[in-house]
Amino acid sequence: MFPKPKSALVPNTYAFESEPMVKPTGFREYDARWLFNKEINLMGVQALGIGLGALIAELGVKQEIVTGHDFRGYSASIKYALISGLMTAGCKVHDIGLAVTPMAYFAQFDLDVPCVAMVTASHNDNGWTGVKMGANRPLTFGPDEMTRLKEIVLSAAFDNKAGGSYQFHENYPARYIADLTNRPKLTRKLKVVAACGNGTAGAFAPQVLEAIGCEVIPLDTELDHTFPKYDPNPEDMEMLHAIRDAVLAHKADVGLGFDGDGDRCGVVDNTGEEIFADKVGVMLARDMSAINANAQFVVDVKSTGLFVTDPVLQKQGANTVYWKTGHSYMKRRTNELGALAGFEKSGHFFFNKPFGRGYDDGLVSAIAICEMLDRAPGKSMADLKDALPKTWSSPTMSPHCADEAKYGVVDAVVKHFETLQQQGAQVAGQTIRDLVTVNGVRVTVADGSWGLVRASSNKPELVVVVESPVSERRMRDMFEAMDSVLRTHPEVGEYNQKI
């Protein structure tokens, strides 16, 4: 028997070394995230592995799984504890070693393995760890699977099972890189800044971009798990500004920034201006729908309204639906609809054939951006961006809110705006034109300005985004309107960044 995990244990004690600790809030909507040694210990990770193996068997899926780990000082030890648990549950484990998350997704196809468990904290601060899991490629777990996994692990509802085994795949990245670069070289000579924030992508991104024909300016590509400059997060303005400076210094055509586990890509144009990922998505949708008739796209509720209103997309027959934020939700919806691509404002992009296999890969996104520029030989990245209808958009802003409180706060905010809509009341000086409540609440007023409040799926935070097609002032009006509602809830703390 394996002991039931405790929700809290004190480090540097006998109990901490002899019992599993798993804080229940670490089981998120579509993956798992904990502060290592504060919310989960190695024995807790082992319990997670046994529970995951048991869930895979319960789902009726072959107990064979790919695993890898990102570049953190503690990720390898966490992966081996997870592997120990998976083998205890009877799983055959295929270990690809140090990897970006999409390399693990690729390995599911390349090695013909149904399941995946990638140890990564993505772009989170050091101290965090987590696992991205799936048992039905190219999809990853959603709320149903995560809820059941939580039940199994916390109740220790599993038994040891014979048949577990382990195989390490030596030099596996070469197979992934070969797959990405098996394409015609670019005809246009592009100078590209590849920024990796000293995260895992630094081991692979420059090599891939050079292989497709780019001249690469590496920026913070040396692996350093202390993240000495900034966290590798292409939504973070500090990272975007570092890319801007490098683009201007080297007169680059584009700056591409990759997050800690390489499944997202941020973009800075040739003038040094960052382009938020949803606008990049509109640019890619224009490019892709020009060569694919009646293209279907899926975008998340944090994304710009241009996906629906852009005249070029309308003329090219593109159709776009809005869906829940979160890489697992978006991946699943893009797959269900057979959409050409899915675009999430955070930078998770999902390309189906002929562009990809349906999972999010920052390097596939980077290649798509370079190929878009290749198909527009007389135009710069700024030209393509400036051709979009003008809107004023905020970055993703995240006020702190405890995991135990955030969903209740969001429910109250949704009810607040639903009541205002029923009363015909105004928000930011205008009547409400539309409410989308598929994921938090997206409030659109009469002039097309909108604001979103939702709960973060992987951190103790809320998420706030605002946009206006009218003016910067109207964008700020929408922020003040959304923030004034949040300020009525004492559980909501300070923002990580604000406009």
Which residues are catalytically annotated?
A: 122
Contacts of residues 338-342 at CB distance under 8 Å and 24 or more positions apart, as own/partner, are 338/296, 339/296, 339/297, 339/298, 340/288, 340/289, 340/292, 340/295, 340/296, 340/297, 341/281, 341/284, 341/285, 341/288, 341/295, 341/297, 341/298, 342/297, 342/298, 342/299
Question: Which whole-number Å values give the CA distances from 260 to 15, 265, 307, in the listed order?
Answer: 33, 10, 28
Rounded to the nearest 5°, which phi and psi values hold at 295? -65, 135
Amino acid identity of residue 233, one-letter, is N
Hey, is 405 helix, strand or coil?
helix
Q: Whole-angstrom Cα distance, residue 321 to residue 274?
A: 25
- Rounded to 5°, angle at Cα 186 from 185 and 192: 115
Q: How far is CA 275 from the centre of its chain?
A: 17
Q: How many CA atoms lie within 13 A of 75 on its CB side?
A: 30
- What residues form DSSP beta bridges with 199? none
Residue 494 is given by DSSP the state -
Q: Whole-angstrom Cα distance, residue 28 to residue 7?
A: 15
Show the DSSP H helices in 292-435 as ranges. 306-309, 311-315, 327-337, 362-374, 381-386, 403-423
Q: Whole-angstrom Cα distance, residue 303 to residue 285?
A: 13
Q: Whole-angstrom Cα distance, residue 252 to residue 245?
A: 10
Residue 20 is given by DSSP the state -
The answer to whether the CB of 98 falls within 8 A of the CB of 125 is no
Per-residue tokens: 213 = 């024909």
The answer to whether the CB of 438 falls within 8 A of the CB of 322 is yes
Amino acid identity of residue 426, one-letter, is Q
Q: Which strand ranges, in their side-by-side order, compose the sheet holding 115-119?
A: 32-35, 128-134, 115-119, 64-69, 92-98, 165-168
- What residues form DSSP beta bridges with 442? 436, 452
Per-residue tokens: 162 = 């014979």
